[in-house]
Chains A and B, each alone.
Chain A
Amino acid sequence: MQQPVIELSHLTKTYGKNRGVSDISLKVPEGVIFGFLGPNGAGKSTTINMLVNLIHPTSGQIKIFGKDNQKHGLEIREDIGFLSSDMPLDGGLTGWQQLEYFGNLRGSFDKTYVQELAKRLDCNLNRKIKTLSRGNHQKVALISALMHKPKLLLLDEPTSGLDPLIQAEFNKIIREHKAAGYTTFISSHILSEIQELCDEVAFIREGEIIAHKTLDELAKGAPKQIRITTQDKTLISRFKKLEGLDGVRIEGKRIMFRYTGHTDTLIKLLAKHKIEDIVIEESDLETMFMQFYENDNGAK
């Protein structure tokens, strides 16, 4: 089996009596875009900060590229690109100077590639960072994360402040990064962002991982959103026999419900009735996310 790029084993971080994350175990395979989802305060940033050695685990182990990140943090960070939503940069430097400085500290600075990234992200690197808007500031930070072509990108709420056009270009760059065989770990609470990019996701809630699935696995188990428009009042009574149906709402001629059963069974049943319109939608990540959280709350 291929070695995971990130491997968290029973990772725990506490702040005095307060919880950071609790007994997290997770494997992120090579070459995937991995989404790390959770609401604010769930423990996403705590986990990412431990990955880059800003904070140290209370217990448990982190391995990145198969190496213990407490012992080989420096070596590991050579192959990591990091971006957070509010990544502070040196206001007195121009964007170019900032990137040149980071490049020099890393031991290499590929001017051509930096210029290419700046062009793609429409980023003016000649202005002082303190004069930049939040979006442009974020572009410089993004280039700093990408400019050394890292094997692992760690992105903590990365697209905050970026306009939709630049977000689309950002997504394109992340997909190219994946196509080159590299791995991306994105922490976010913006579900649409994760849904568009990620192959796998883990849900974190109150410091604990409550689910870890591929997007395909999630889609399979996820209910479809069905909306039927009909004047046939008998249809609703027939639904009682249908398995995998719940959340039924009736608004005038419209019947809405969630359905996890076979689509074929549903269509055959509907075929016996006069239907004006039918809409079948895949669940979006937000629905799945809410379902996980509701289930987890219920379990508790």
Chain B
Amino acid sequence: MLSNFAGILFDGIAYGSLLFLVGIGLSVTLGLMNFVNLAHGAFAMLGGYVCVVAMSRFGVPFLACLPIAFLVSALVGMLLERTLYRRLYRASPLDQVLFSIGLTFMAIAAATFAFGPGQQPVALPELLRGQVNVVGVDIGAYRLFLVAVVILITAMLAWLVARTRFGAQVRAAVDDPRAASGMGIDVGRIFALTFALGSGLAGLGGALGIDVLGLDPTFPVKYMVYFLLVVAVGGAGSIKGTLAAALILGIVDVAGKYYVPQVGAFVIYALMVLLLMLFPAGLYGRRT
């Protein structure tokens, strides 16, 4: 019973790690650039498909696919930011929502056209299959790998934002874009790079998540709520908040599906409305 519970807890953490990986990019665009990007899940889907194509058509090993997924999604993200998104930074949230819904629809249609409506399979390497026994608890090796990757990336992100010149520029550009550009910071470039980083992480999350979340053309809509929820609960623009919210959400969702399957996703949606009421700015929201 206890080891069973520990297993669920760990599954929840692994699931939450994935949500964090994808959600962090959304948190950045929403919190730092004030852009309601409902198309964020489409970048995750893109990463997933890049991974599948690289593996099945070009025979690239799974682990090598992950950086490719990151790079392709980041490039596409930067391209879209430079051509389309930047025009809408000052637009109303409604325009941004409509625009990103439009992008999402196009992404879904394009994915269906290119890959068909079915689920995409992924062949994990031998090393990541099966179970690993950690202090008496059987844990999926892939789940363990997921958590390790996310810990690594979180540490890198924290270092990037807090310790590097680029991080300082991002923080300055976000706090006051006009003053930052007055200090000689190229705000447009910073935003493009940040957007690319967020899209790339989403793509990485999508590629890592094929085995856990699945991958089919409806992915961006199916998980949109989860990503939004992570950001809304965590407080947009906060790494710490996003991580906490993603883990809470992952554990609650996995535990809910295991213990009370008949209620399903109801718990998550109710939690979303409730938390939004109680913490309009999120758990670690930036107070403006």
Answer yes or no: are A and B bound together in one complex: no
Binding site for B on A (CB under 8 A): none
